[in-house]
Amino acid sequence: MVSTGDPRAARLGGEFCVAKGEWRARDRQGILPCDCRPGSIQHDGVCVGRIEPAVPDLPLAGAVERAVALRADEGAVAFSGGLDSALVAALARRPCVVVGIAGSHDLARARHAATHLDLDLEEVEIPPARVEEALRAVLPAIPDPNPVDTAIAATLYFVAEWAAGSGHGRILGGQGADELFGGYARYRDGGDPAVLLARDAASLPGQVARDQAVAGLFGCAFSMPYLDLAVVRAARALDPSTLVRGRLSKSPLRDAAAAWVPPDIALYPKKAMQYGSGISRELRRLARHNGYKNSVRGYLTTLERTNDHGR
């Protein structure tokens, strides 16, 4: 279709990269990796058109339900038991996986949530001895190997490893919910929510590139329902001042989730994956063990150098 210049290509929605000969087309959000600019149709490297799909105007709950349904025909869900992944899992009804070091928050929380949602959950206990292996694998793959991104990437490494080993090429995740609905602590600290949302939205392409780079190590890809154009449209229609209610962030998403998940899941506070999995703590321990008492970045830089020397 793209190779003939068919104008229907411009209306393609969802997550995709189409390649045929010298023609390329990529989804508006740039979710799937591709040698093509997000939202463009290119011929021989030159942009000849834009992807402009019709975006349905739906209430938030309907937009999320539709976004998950469009992606739930295959794959597994990266599950932590928190709001974002629990809502996706409750709607998708796909196999779920949680990863974490023994005794970590996410292993216990995911088990609790899966029981209450009647989900098929696989628990992957990460041996601490394998964390450095994951770090060495993700450091050369991700765009910005800073300590936070590297810890997140190392956690996702074990998710993607399990998915590939279980025959899943698609991993549904909760990426984007915090950036769209004000999920971070800074939204509760008195900053201008509109300014914070714009800043967080600008960080999404880098985060998507990081996560897809990790999944790509195993021939998988993340699918991101919260970055569906209809969900983004519904999120941007919200008054930023309504995102935090008291000390609880992402209030509109929590309200929407109440139709599918019990209150103790819908209202559960955020726990970032690098902390919930125990990877961040293990990364700090490895840094200290290798002589970097106060510098995780220094330890990661050393790993990068030894990776380079080993090539």
pLDDT confidence of residue 7: 62
Residues of the chain scoring pLDDT < 50: 1-4, 311
pLDDT confidence of residue 307: 83
Distance CA(38)–CA(31), nearest Å, equals 8
Query: 3-state DSSP call for residue 116?
Result: helix
- What residue ranges do the domains of the chain occupy? 2-50, 60-276
Q: Tell me the per-residue pLDDT of 206-239, one tens digit each, with 9 for 90 and over.
A: 999 999 999 999 999 999 999 999 999 999 999 9
Classify residue 247 as exposed, middle or buried by CB count within 10 Å of its CB (0-12, 13-18, 19+): exposed
Distance CA(177)–CA(158), nearest Å, equals 21
Alpha carbon 92 to chain centroid, angstroms: 16
pLDDT confidence of residue 180: 97
Annotation: CATH topology of 60-276: Rossmann fold (3.40.50)
pLDDT confidence of residue 4: 42
